[in-house]
Amino acid sequence: MLVTPSEVPSVVANDPADDHVLACALAAGADLVVSGDRHLLDLGGTYQGIRIVTPAEAVEKIGR
């Protein structure tokens, strides 16, 4: 699926490029963002209901 966010709000002040990742996740209706990026992970594990996990956490979930 290819999505184009209607807007890209400023969320990650230290890395504005990460704002595009979050905007695309919202536009796509994603349940999960898998990333090793510390700026995304520093958001506390979620953004507007979308879970943000490390690759290791994602692999663990898949293995269950």
Instruction: For 4-43, write each residue's pLDDT tens digit.
Output: 999 999 999 999 999 999 999 999 999 999 999 999 999 9
Domain that holds residue 58: 30-63
Residue 41: what pLDDT? 96
Asked whether residue 22 is domain-assigned, the answer is: no
Q: Nearest 5°: CA angle at 1, between 9 and 8?
A: 5
Q: What is the pLDDT of residues 42-58, one digit of tens each?
A: 999 999 999 999 999 99
> For residue 64, is pLDDT > 90?
no
Residue 53: what pLDDT? 97
* Domains contained in the chain, number: 1
Asked whether residue 48 is domain-assigned, the answer is: yes
Q: Which is it for strands 32-34 and 50-53: parallel, antiparallel or unpaired?
A: parallel
Which residues touch 57 (CB under 8 Å, ≥6 apart)?
34
